[in-house]
Homo-oligomer: A and B are copies of this chain.
């Protein structure tokens, strides 16, 4: 139980510079009530109506399956977004960074009992054990992921050291991260060393073994709910098969948590009856589903069809301003470049698409076809009328490829409410209406946490 294999470790704690956030109240004073054209660009716009609907529909899907839902907060990293994901009844989250953990555990969500359970969703590194141990005392349940024997040894060494200092019964609550086929993190379920690690997690005096955690990130490659459902079933079956192996070796597996936005959303496509029937036999042992991106959605999820209503399901857009127009080249220059959109890609191509510009036959709309640091090049205007409409200085809303990476570009989010109206490129109008376009007005500001 020593960790001679470990290199020297720092226990440097989170810097305030990575953790402090701008003042929401101050930003609200500056921004609430302003029209989109009055906002400094580029800016991230969140449609709260869509966030609420996406959250509700995901909870209904989990309910259909009779499974607990755990929401990933990395997409938005905000207190407000977490609250709308949790709704009534969900109490568990996954965080992608220690900064998110600190931010949310220090928020009113824990004090009010809405948030009770946090998993740090990336295998813990030895330098962050002290912080994790500290956090575990400020919320009912705080778990870490482990998928390497060295990490367990580091945990044990840390606990022994704390106990030598006089603290009693120092323990970490641990999930075993298992590779569900995505080949990113996680132990291979078929390897004997994985069983050995589970055994050690089960018997160690310094860990409470919670069970199996997988992530079907490869379900992002699917292009239909049926395909996504296939990924969910594969992940489920693989987890249950590994569970059987563990049970056969006398290792209890209290929990299995599986999922990703495309695969979990796809379950909503099955009828409740089918699901209930299936769940009796096939789902026994799986205790929860997890997903995160669903709360915002994006072009990648339009592609997987998790965003079943297309861009109407996308809660975030980048507000950008037209800087110039080059009709000779068929392009428009906007002020949303790579530092506002991120350079993540999607199968549809390009880096983002302007709301409300798709053709009637579903053809691509105005698309960011090229971006560099601060330049966004937009193409796809079809007619002389479209060219005539656009003005230097006007604002447009661009649906990003990958909402998680795009939201991470911004120090705060401007919140609007597009309820019951249809999006135009810079505002909204009555559904089915061809009339006047109305500008959206800022109703709130959300402040995410950044850094590590």
Contacts and interface: CB of A to CB of B under 8 A. Distances in A.
B338 A37 contact: no
B324 A9 contact: no
B15 A40 contact: yes
B184 A393 contact: no
Given A392-B125, A393-B6, A74 B374 contact: yes
A405 B339 contact: yes
B6 A392 contact: yes
A255 to B, nearest CB: 21
Interface string A162-202: 00000000000000000100011101100100000000000
Query: How many copies altogether?
Result: 2
| Chain A, interface SS category | loop
Contacts of A39: 10, 12
A411 B451 contact: yes
A69 interface: no
25 contacts: A6-B392, A12-B34, A12-B38, A12-B39, A15-B27, A15-B30, A17-B411, A41-B127, A42-B452, A74-B373, A96-B373, A123-B324, A125-B321, A127-B393, A151-B392, A154-B393, A179-B326, A183-B331, A183-B377, A188-B329, A339-B405, A342-B342, A373-B405, A411-B450, A411-B451
A282 B151 CA distance: 64
Given A6-B393, A185-B323, 16 more contacts: A5-B392, A7-B391, A15-B27, A17-B22, A40-B452, A122-B374, A123-B324, A123-B333, A125-B321, A125-B322, A125-B392, A127-B393, A150-B325, A185-B333, A217-B372, A343-B405
Interface string A362-402: 00000000101111010000000000000111110000000
A412 interface: yes
Interface in A1-37: 5-10, 12-15, 17-18, 22, 26-27, 30, 34, 37
Contacts of A452: 40-42, 335, 340
Interface residues of A, number: 82
Contacts of A321: 125, 127
A338 B344 contact: yes
Interface of A: 5-10, 12-15, 17-18, 22, 26-27, 30, 34, 37-42, 74, 96-97, 122-127, 147-148, 150-151, 154, 179, 183-185, 187-188, 191, 217, 321-326, 328-329, 331, 333, 335, 338-340, 342-345, 370, 372-375, 377, 391-395, 404-405, 408, 411-412, 450-452
Contacts of A329: 179, 183, 188
Contact of A150 (B127, B372, B374, B391): B391
Given A185-B333, A405-B338, A452-B335, A9 B393 contact: yes
Given A122-B375, A372-B184, A17 B27 contact: yes
Q: Sorted from nearest, which 8 A-B pairs have the closest CB atoms?
A: A150-B392, A17-B22, A10-B38, A126-B393, A148-B324, A7-B394, A343-B343, A123-B323
Contacts of A323: 122-125, 148, 151, 185
